[in-house]
Chains A and B, each alone.
Chain A
């Protein structure tokens, strides 16, 4: 595929001459000798277009097809064809990050609409143009807490957040002198009894997730008031689809809402790309990372869009910037905007309620017929967790189900050491009654094998 390499040898020679060096390696003279790789990269030779296609077909044929009950942050939901139709338009698909933003009014309008819909969903005042994924959004929300509470050192985190979120938080902050402190857990839920012990000026905030890693819906009654009395911030991470049914982050008193927009119009694709969302109360606007599209009028009074509040970004605040985010996940966010525009509130509520009902149908049937009861009694949204008591038994069940064409759930032990044997099963509006009954029959066979 050599035709995509833009520079001829002569081009390269001219450029080297212009900057006053002999060869390309001279450009790396600032990298210490011992750090330089003195051989070619270990990658195969280039292939022709036909060879690439053939290789990709070969890889594609190695995929195992099946019905997916995998969740834990990424769900197999219905995506209307119009989403990929619009997202594939070259004007969107090939648009790079707008460095001269106001010339790209379409991109700014799409971002503005994304922000508006995220604010409506979360109930909060301001949203940015999106972040790389939900876990990045978690880290940025934590940074906002630490920046807002200047003397704080500690972020309290619920034990029931996604284990990847916890990992990302720890890797962002542990070496910066901040403490990521995890609350105790009981019956699949965080225990807030010890919260008052942490309420002083060293506390930046509390970070929780609902529905949590087990799929359970958490109750935050009274939590926001306790935090706010001390001035600490409250961050709630939510699968945005759940907001079609349950209280929004703003209704729980959260200052910052985050999550991943994958459930809205994005395929699972082995985990990405997705888009993270982040929304906050207006008083935190100046601490919010990334770009924000604003609506204004041009010199003729016509509606127009601008990138606004960029002072936070590196090109103005430079070394005093509070985040290293200076872009967004534009195409994935656009897919979400298109999905939300097509679905509307009614559509989201319907998808959320169907997911809830189907998940509860499957949970009840599994308990009644296959002896597989949910491990926890707290209410759940569209995911529930079953305790197989050991890694071996969980693995055997999942393997057996896979042979029957069903990806039956996520073994939580593969995400965190202390959850061996627990399997979380996600059910979406996309699953049919036949598929659910097939799951139950297959599970009866699998547990008796």
Chain B
């Protein structure tokens, strides 16, 4: 059973979102890292670039697959987790401690679209059935 943290928000594309004022830290869920397997590369966005919601913003490559990350909140990238450039496997070790990027979001209405922990848990249970 995948780990889901109660305080975070989620998307159906298996990203977690931690709101911090007008900034949101975004990573992939435990379910996603488990599905991908051993991650060997994380392609990070560039700080300062702006993205719309649902834009492809980053990608993760594992030994068996490559997956795109879709940005859940429109805005400007303000931080990226540079640690992942040299140790992408940190995402496997703890996908909630190791965010991918942080975005300064510009449209707070988009927050309403996000799932809470219970809804996300129900969603991944439906996938595992």
Contacts and interface: CB of A to CB of B under 8 A. Distances in A.
Interface string A299-321: 00000000000010000111010
A24 B63 CA distance: 39
A107 B59 CA distance: 32
B119 interface: no
* Chain B, interface residues (CB within 8 Å), range: 10 to 19
Contacts of B49: 151
A430 to B, nearest CB: 46
* Chain A, interface residues (CB within 8 Å), range: under 10
A320 B43 contact: no
A311 B63 CA distance: 7
B85 to A, nearest CB: 10
Contacts of A311: 40-41, 61-63, 66
B97 interface: no
Interface in A309-352: 311, 316-318, 320
Contact of A320 (B40, B62, B68): B68
B64 A320 contact: no
A347 B21 CA distance: 66
Q: What does DSSP make chain B's interface, helix, strand, loop or mixed?
A: strand
A403 interface: no
Contacts of B68: 320
Nearest to B59: A320
B47 interface: no
A286 interface: yes
Contacts, number: 20
B118 interface: no
B65 interface: yes
Interface in B27-69: 40-41, 43, 49, 59, 61-66, 68
A320 B66 contact: yes
A282 B49 CA distance: 23
Q: Which of A311, A316, A317, A318 has the most CB of B within 10 A?
A: A311
A2 B15 CA distance: 60
Contacts of A286: 41, 43, 61
A316 B65 contact: yes
A316 B66 contact: yes
B38 to A, nearest CB: 11
B111 to A, nearest CB: 26
A147 B68 CA distance: 15
Contacts of A317: 61, 66
Contacts of A316: 61, 64-66
20 contacts: A151-B49, A286-B41, A286-B43, A286-B61, A311-B40, A311-B41, A311-B61, A311-B62, A311-B63, A311-B66, A316-B61, A316-B64, A316-B65, A316-B66, A317-B61, A317-B66, A318-B66, A320-B59, A320-B66, A320-B68
Interface of A: 151, 286, 311, 316-318, 320
Given A286-B41, A320-B66, 18 more contacts: A151-B49, A286-B43, A286-B61, A311-B40, A311-B41, A311-B61, A311-B62, A311-B63, A311-B66, A316-B61, A316-B64, A316-B65, A316-B66, A317-B61, A317-B66, A318-B66, A320-B59, A320-B68
- Please list the 7 inter-chain residue pairs (A to B) with the smallest Cβ-Cβ separation, ordered nearest first: A311-B61, A317-B66, A316-B66, A311-B66, A320-B66, A316-B65, A286-B41
Interface of B: 40-41, 43, 49, 59, 61-66, 68
